[in-house]
Structures are given as structure tokens and as C-alpha cells.
Amino acid sequence: MKLKGFIVTFGSFALATALLYLLGYVFTIPWLMFQYEYTNNASGFFVTTGSLVPLIIGLVISFISEKIYLYKYRQKLG
């Protein structure tokens, strides 16, 4: 039960996040794209990242899918 629950939760997180990032790149939606820049001009260290919105949405989806999975599992037990 624990392994299946983990697979459902992590799988839904990974799938939802990857799908949202893919949609961001396909349709050029900036708040769904991950941009990473690294610049080191003689120790002028500069780092920037992209949107974390797909990660947050993926966490919400994985939370909901875990609750649905647990509900169905408990319902099946009787």
C-alpha cells in the first residue's frame, strides 16, 4: 500500500509538472517556462531561474491525487 501510494503521488507530481513545463514551451507561456541562466564574468556571479508555478501546481495535484487514492483504497477495504 505504501509503495503504491508513493508511486501514485510522485507519478502525478512528475507528470503534471512535466506537462505544464511542456505546455509552457510549446505555447510560449512565460509563467510556465523554466529559464536558467548562469553568468560568471570573472567572478561577477549571476544566477537566475524561471517560473516555479508548475512545481506548485504539481504539488497541489499530487496532494489531491493522494487523497483520492486513499479514499478509494479505504472504500475498497470496506
The Cα-based distances of 51 to 11, 33, 70, 75 in angstroms read 21, 6, 31, 38
CB 69 within 8 A of CB 7: no
- All cell numbers assigned to 61: 495535484
Q: How do residues 49-75 score in pLDDT, each as one tens digit? A: 888 999 999 999 999 999 999 999 999
Distance CA 48, CA 54 (A): 17
CB 51 within 8 A of CB 33: yes
The reported pLDDT for the residue numbered 55 is: 95
Q: How do residues 11-51 score in pLDDT, each as one tens digit? A: 999 999 999 999 999 999 989 998 878 888 887 787 778 88
